Structure 1
Amino acid sequence: MGKDWLALLGASGNRGDWVTDREYLIGLSPVWRFGGLLLLINGGLAIGLGRRIYQHAQPGWWLLIWPLTYFVGAIGWLPQYTWYLAIVYLCLSYVSYGLAQTHKQIRS
């Protein structure tokens, strides 16, 4: 019964190797969990900033501020595979900026 709850979370529990099992809680490796968390939090921030920049009529180049800030921080403190997320954040900001513009034109 002690390791039954591990099986529910995606860990095997039958290898007897607690460290390996704990690394794969909920069936995802630590890399995928970290990347997913970054996408969820920073992607939401990128979308919110894209909409906000349009609503307050700021220049379009402001869309570069968040992705560049993230990239500089990622170079200094995050693993190399997270650097590519700066491109994703730039795309999310640009798409949300464009969708906010389209939404306002449709309302008019």
Structure 2
Amino acid sequence: MAIIMKRLRWPYWVFSIVVGGFGPALLAQLNLDQMIRFGLINTLLFSVIAGLIGTLVKHRQESPWVLLVWPAVFLVGALISGPIDTTVFALIYLCISYLSYGFSRVAQ
């Protein structure tokens, strides 16, 4: 069972479901100004998370396919609960993850 969980990369899935799936739903329920929601949370906070995921995947020498988990789960969460405008952020998070993955160095 442990081998199966390791092969599924379960920490990325759990984090992505909690933050990417429920994040847009939580933001839709809060009465936040649209500038705060788009400017601070979607642009800054979630972009930093995407960058950290890319760096973490590179340092752990995981498969780059793991980088698709966060944007895909965020896209589903945004389609279900958020405004349609937030779906474009999934592509942005994917680009940031791959850029941080590519620019990161692995300690030798």
The answer to whether the aligner puts 1:48 opposite 2:52 as a matched pair is: yes
Q: Percent identity?
A: 31
The answer to whether the aligner puts 1:78 opposite 2:100 as a matched pair is: no
Show structure 1 runs of 4+ deviating over 3 A.
none
**Paired residue for 2:69, among 62, 65, 68?**
65
Aligned pair count?
A: 75
Residue 15 of structure 1 corresponds to none
Larger Rg belongs to:
1
- Amino acid aligned to 1:60: P
Q: C-alpha distance in 1, partners of 2:42/2:89?
A: 8
- Amino acid aligned to 2:79: I
Q: State the shift of 1:31 in Å.
A: 2.6
- Amino acid aligned to 2:34: V
Where relative contact order (Cα < 8 A, 6+ residues apart) is larger, the structure is 2
Q: C-alpha distance in 1, partners of 2:35/2:68?
A: 26
Q: TM-score, normalised by structure 2?
A: 0.64
Q: C-alpha distance in 1, partners of 2:76/2:82?
A: 10
Residue 5 of structure 2 corresponds to none
Q: State the shift of 1:38 in Å.
A: 1.2
Q: C-alpha distance in 1, partners of 2:35/2:103?
A: 29
Q: C-alpha distance in 2, partners of 1:74/1:87?
A: 12
What 5-or-longer segments of structure 2 have no aligned partner? 1-32
| Bigger proportion of residues as helix | 2
Q: State the shift of 1:41 in Å.
A: 1.3
What 5-or-longer segments of structure 1 have no aligned partner? 1-29
- Amino acid aligned to 1:33: I
Q: TM-score, normalised by structure 1?
A: 0.64
**Paired residue for 2:38, among 35, 39, 42?**
35
Cα deviation per residue 1:3-52 (whole Å; 9 max; x = unaligned)? Answer: xxxxxxxxxxxxxxxxxxxxxxxxxxx33321112111111110000000
Q: C-alpha distance in 2, partners of 1:61/1:32?
A: 32
